[in-house]
Amino acid sequence: MTVPATTEEEYHRQATRQVLRRFSRQPSRLIPALQHVQKKLGYLPPEAMSEIASHLGIPEIDVYAVVTFYNQFRLNPPGRHSIRVCLGTACHMKGGYITLDAWKRRLGIAEGQTTPDREFDLDTVACVGCCTMAPVTVVDGEPKGKVEPTRVDGILLAFELERTARDAKEASD
């Protein structure tokens, strides 16, 4: 019988142990183990990295070094909505950094972070491939073109309206 996790950290430990059951204790299994744990949790919290290090018999700092070396791994939980600001050449020339600054100010977070309510996470990408629409922001996987600071406000307003409707529906159920 499984005891329910009492804290988020304990849940992360239990979920990580469950994933690691499928992996041998060979240090060479580090990257696949990290990938599978991240797939399960959405990111790699410190307690998960500690469990992985223990399972593989390697120092925690080695796990952290690999996680921070490869950009496929996340150290922060994902938000409900993913915001990716393109900083490729065309977007850079058309104000991509100004757009990024607008997102940072409006969300109150830096790139690579998630809002405290886990509604949004913010990051940058090198190129989206939609150069004629520069500056581009990818919102939940959908490219949005000509995203200047006023457009950032409009996108966030749409999310706020969606959230208000969702909250009202949940309250009526």
Structure confidence by residue, pLDDT tens digits, 127-139: 999 999 999 999 9
Task: Give the single-character DSSP code of 88.
Answer: S
**In angstroms, rounded to a whole number, what is the distance separating the alpha carbons of residues 129 and 47?**
37
Is residue 36 within 8 Å of residue 73, measured between CB atoms?
no
CATH architecture of 8-69: Orthogonal Bundle (1.10)
pLDDT at residue 2 is higher than 50: no
pTM of the complete model: 0.77
Is 136 or 173 the better-scoring residue by pLDDT? 136
Which CATH class for the 81-172 domain?
alpha beta
Q: Closest by alpha carbon to 128, among 145, 111, 113?
A: 145
Express each pLDDT in 68-100 by its tens digit.
998 889 999 999 999 999 999 999 999 999 999
Is 85 or 6 the better-scoring residue by pLDDT? 85
Express each pLDDT in 56-69 by its tens digit.
999 999 999 999 99
Give the whole-number percent of the chain exceeding pLDDT 70: 97
pLDDT at residue 11 is higher than 60: yes
Domain boundaries, the chain: 8-69, 81-172
Arithmetic mean of pLDDT, 116-135: 95
Task: Give the single-character DSSP code of 65.
Answer: H
8-69 and 81-172 share one fold:
no
Helix, strand or coil for residue 80? coil
Express each pLDDT in 36-50 by its tens digit.
999 999 999 999 999
108 in the Ramachandran plot: left (φ > 0), alpha (ψ -120 to 50) or beta?
Answer: left
Is residue 70 within 8 Å of residue 117, measured between CB atoms?
no
- What pLDDT does 4 receive? 54
Query: Could you give the count of Cα atoms lying within 13 Å of 15 in the half-sphere of its Cβ?
Result: 22
pLDDT at residue 1 is higher than 80: no
Provide the b/e sequence for 139-171 (b: ≥16 CB within 10 Å). Answer: beeeebbebeeebbeebbeebeeeeeeeeeeee
- What pLDDT does 5 receive? 55
Structure confidence at residue 166 as a pLDDT band (50, 70, 90): confident
